[in-house]
A and B are shown apart, each in its own frame.
Chain A
Amino acid sequence: AQSVTQPDIHITVSEGASLELRCNYSYGATPYLFWYVQSPGQGLQLLLKYFSGDTLVQGIKGFEAEFKRSQSSFNLRKPSVHWSDAAEYFCAVTGNTPLVFGKGTRLSVIA
């Protein structure tokens, strides 16, 4: 069965600092990977997705993620965090079943 692990429950970064959120997945075949963001009280917004091809994918709001098959990872990065990036971030994987989500990483941004 597929699964997703987000090792960091909560991360705090300073505004302007770089960010990396970790995601490890378990799936027997070629995975389709996603990062979603959820602002407080809101629904989920897709940041980026990986289906195939270039392992470095660009998303919205200046985010990018790198697929590393050898490490079963799909880490999310941003070079300079803005206060508005404070939210909860979910990594998800699918193959031939509905999305399976990690438990999320809550990002706090301090001045």
Chain B
Amino acid sequence: NAGVTQTPKFQVLKTGQSMTLQCAQDMNHEYMSWYRQDPGMGLRLIHYSVGAGITDQGEVPNGYNVSRSTTEDFPLRLLSAAPSQTSVYFCASDSGRNTEAFFGQGTRLTVV
């Protein structure tokens, strides 16, 4: 039972490069979210989705795009990476707003 799987675990990008962080869940959860974690800031919501084809912005959406073509996958795209996007990124899924969220192991991204 894999749960929430994020890839890659580590990534170094140069400023201006683009990349996609992958997130997949095998629990048939409708809700998926992306957070970034920075020292002293906790986890801040980037984007979230309440079902296939439906996405919305969170607290810190600038510089990131998402799409949700299937229930299982929720990729996060950085179109032009900036040093300010250096962070640890977590993907989460849950089956409803009042249920437990399950988290992936995180992607540590460094933009130089």
Within 8 A of B (CB), among A64-98: 90, 94-98
A contact set with B: CB distance below 8 Å: 6, 9, 32, 34, 36, 42-44, 46, 49, 51, 90, 94-104
Q: List 20 A-B contacts (CB under 8 A).
A: A36-B103, A42-B105, A43-B104, A43-B106, A46-B101, A49-B100, A95-B97, A96-B97, A98-B31, A98-B101, A99-B45, A99-B101, A100-B45, A101-B42, A101-B43, A102-B42, A103-B40, A103-B42, A104-B40, A104-B42
- Please give, as numbers and ranges, the residues of chain A lying within 8 Å of B33 by CB-CB distance: 98-99
Contacts of B97 in A (CB 8 A): 32, 94-98
B83 contacts the other chain (CB 8 A): no
* Residue ranges of B at the interface with A (Cβ–Cβ < 8 Å): 31, 33, 35, 40-45, 48, 58, 90, 92, 97-98, 100-101, 103-106
When chains A and B are docked, how far (Å) is the Cα of A66 from the Cα of B55? Answer: 34
6 new A-B contacts, CB < 8 A, other than A98-B33, A98-B48, are A42-B105, A43-B104, A49-B100, A90-B42, A100-B45, A101-B42
